Amino acid sequence: MSTIDEATIRQARILAADDEEGNLRLMRKVLERAGFESFTGTTDPRRVLPLYREVRPDLVMVDLHMPGMTGMEVIAQLQPLIAVEGWLPVLMISGDLTPAARQEALANGARDFLAKPYDPAEAVLRIRNLLETRFLHLEVRRQNARLEARVAERTRELEESQAEVLERLAQAAEFRDDDTGQHTRRVGDLAARIACAMGHDEEWVEMLRRAAPLHDVGKIGIPDGILLKPSRLTDDERRRMQAHTTIGGRILSGGRSPMMRMAERIALAHHEHWDGCGYPRALRGEEIPREARIVAVADFWDALTHDRPYRAAWTPDTVRAEVERGVATHFDPEVAHAFLGLGM
């Protein structure tokens, strides 16, 4: 039993093309008697395409044999628009009752075939059946769109929750050697400013702003005796300290969202150097993910311009000079120049 209400069927927009005006008048009369309210007809098949755009029909009826353009050619002309529409029924009408004509019509996009002269009751039933299918299809599309929207919203909420947990974890790690806990936020903001200066699109910049604060999440796995040591680290301690990159990469691995995958790449590669002398994998140049190259500069600036338990802050001029010296060795030249252009 159809779930489409009668009012929807009656209000359906029907477009018909037949080279004989009498046939159009007859079809209009048949449909009006059946309660249909919207019928547009044309004797010129070349008018079907512009009328389609104007009327936005729910059903198209075309005569198979018309001068100037056949019904098949009309259907072919409509196919690109029908493909966008999703499911639009085309009813082919013809006095040609040969199996070949029927098969050709159905093979080329017609959904049904009505033979002339037709029985009015049969015509109405075929039209109603096609319209019911049309409206059921539209309803399914609307339901799917609603479901997809709900899934997208739920996915976004889950990703937000996951990101929030990891951001708090990053802050917890940061509090151990930054008592303000603001380093991660500042790095995210500065990385976004650099990316914007480099011409990255707004969506990518915002994703970087959110991913960059997770760059040092791996510090959660570094002992306080090493992380907060006020004196120079031994070679073994330095190796263990450098492991915060791989620890962070493992913590963030397996994320499904683009933001989490970006955060993983940043955590793992933000201490790589442009000349290949960084860690943990000694990546070189553009082997290093661009987001990690940007965070490398932002992290370097913010870490050195703020006090830490094991050293006092450097002056901005001193850090800028270090960034300039690190162009093409420590830092990606494009990123470094974009940073220096900010006038920090």
What is d(CA 342, CA 220) in angstroms, rounded to the nearest whole number? 32
Q: What residue has token string 């994703």?
A: 207
Indicate if the pLDDT at residue 305 is higher than 90. Answer: yes
Q: Are 148 and 176 in contact (CB under 8 A)?
A: no
Q: What residue has token string 């790589």?
A: 272
What pLDDT digit, counting tens, does each position of 98-129 carry?
Answer: 888 888 888 878 889 888 888 999 999 999 99
Cα angle for residues 308, 253, 250 (degrees, 5° grid): 50
Average confidence (pLDDT) over 295-322: 92
What is d(CA 223, CA 239) in angstroms, rounded to the nearest whole number? 12
- Between 41 and 156, the more confident residue is 41
* CATH superfamily placement of domain 175-340: Hypothetical protein af1432 (1.10.3210.10)
Average confidence (pLDDT) over 261-287: 97
Tell which residue, 164, 153, 62, has the closest CA to residue 110: 62
Query: What is the per-residue pLDDT for 1?
Result: 40
Indicate if the pLDDT at residue 57 is higher than 50. Answer: yes
List of long-range contacts for 182-189, beta carbons under 8 Å, 24+ apart: 183/216, 183/302, 183/303, 183/306, 184/212, 184/213, 184/214, 184/215, 184/216, 185/213, 186/302, 187/212, 187/213, 187/215, 187/295, 187/298, 187/299, 187/302, 188/212, 188/213, 188/298
CATH of region 6-147? 3.40.50.2300
Indicate if the pLDDT at residue 56 is higher than 60. Answer: yes
Indicate if the pLDDT at residue 159 is higher than 80. Answer: no
Parse the chain into domains and list their residue ranges: 6-147, 175-340
Indicate if the pLDDT at residue 209 is higher than 90. Answer: yes
Indicate if the pLDDT at residue 180 is higher than 60. Answer: no
One-letter amino acid for residue 315 of the chain: T
Average confidence (pLDDT) over 62-83: 87
What is d(CA 119, CA 140) in angstroms, rounded to the nearest whole number? 32
**Confidence class for position 178, pLDDT limits 50, 70, 90:** low
Average confidence (pLDDT) over 293-304: 97
Cβ contacts of residue 176 below 8 Å, gap of 6+? 219, 224, 227, 228
What pLDDT digit, counting tens, does each position of 226-258 carry?
Answer: 988 888 899 999 999 999 999 999 999 988 788
Q: Are 94 and 64 in contact (CB under 8 A)?
A: yes
Q: Are 46 and 68 in contact (CB under 8 A)?
A: yes
**Confidence class for position 3, pLDDT limits 50, 70, 90:** low
**Confidence class for position 154, pLDDT limits 50, 70, 90:** confident
State the pTM of this model: 0.60
What pLDDT digit, counting tens, does each position of 12-40 carry?
Answer: 999 999 999 999 999 999 999 999 999 99
Q: Are 290 and 195 in contact (CB under 8 A)?
A: no
**Confidence class for position 318, pLDDT limits 50, 70, 90:** very high
One-letter amino acid for residue 179 of the chain: D
Indicate if the pLDDT at residue 179 is higher than 60. Answer: no
Query: What is the per-residue pLDDT for 2?
Result: 47
Q: Tell me the C-alpha to C-alpha distance, in Å, between residue 202 and each of 20, 207, 208, 318, 319.
A: 57, 9, 10, 31, 28
Query: What is the per-residue pLDDT for 171?
Result: 73
| pLDDT cut 90: percent of the chain above it | 60
List, in sequence order, every beta strand (DSSP E) within the chain: 13-17, 38-42, 59-63, 90-94, 112-115
